[in-house]
Every structure is written in C-alpha cells, then in structure tokens.
Amino acid sequence: MSEKPRITILYCTQCNWLLRAGWMAQELLQTFGDSLGEVALIPGTGGVFEIRADEALIWERKRDGGFPRPKELKQKLRDIIDPDRDLGHLDRKTPADDETAV
C-alpha cells in the first residue's frame, strides 16, 4: 500500500458494541500509530461488526465466529499493511496459542 490505510470498524448500535469498537480502534492506533491514515468508527445495526483496511475485510463477526482478540487483529492488519513488520511480543507463541491449535 503506497498511501496509509483507512481502517473502518462497523459496529452494531443495537448491540451496544461502541465500547468494543472503540477499544479495537485504540489497540490498532497504539500499535500502528503513524502507519495508519485514519481509524473510523461506523455505527450500524443488525449485529454487524466488521473491520476493514481500505476495502480488505480483516474481520467479520458472523463469518469469523465472534470478536477478534487484539493480538489476532493486529497480526491480521500487519499482514495486510506491512508483512515484514515485527510486532515484538505479539509474534511470540504463548501457551494459550498452543491450546487454541488443538
């Protein structure tokens, strides 16, 4: 990507997911900071929760079975915007990672 990506988080207002969307936005801004052009929160309805980098769908609650963990979301975004970027401790395996692989 030559320009900095625009991240959008579409969340359901009926489900009261604003705080979750804001938390995800904060996590992405804290990790990627100047690498992002914008992080936008978009209110929606009908149980939606989608995260996109420009047009690329990173996460969709119904498709992906719930909400992403911050580590998982950051790795997925990194893989799209800067695959060579090292996320430090986020890229190291933890015992919890081994449990989810079973």
C-alpha 99/C-alpha 81 separation (Å) is 28
Distance linking the first and last C-alpha atoms of the chain: 35
The percentage of residues in the chain with a pLDDT greater than 70, rounded to a whole number, is 83
Of 19, 31, 36, nearest in space to 11 by CA = 19
Dump pLDDT digits (tens) for 19-54.
999 999 999 999 998 999 999 999 999 999 999 999
Q: Which CATH superfamily is domain 6-100 in?
A: Glutaredoxin (3.40.30.10)
Dihedral sign from CA coordinates of 13, 16, 22, 24: negative
Domain ranges of the chain: 6-100
According to DSSP H, which parts of 1-102 are helical? Answer: 18-32, 61-64, 70-81, 95-100
Region 57-63: mean pLDDT is: 97
State the pTM of this model: 0.83
The percentage of residues in the chain with a pLDDT greater than 90, rounded to a whole number, is 74
Please tell me which residue, 53 or 93, carries the higher pLDDT value.
53
The 8-class DSSP code of residue 5 comes to P
The first and second tokens of residue 27, run together, are: 């996590």
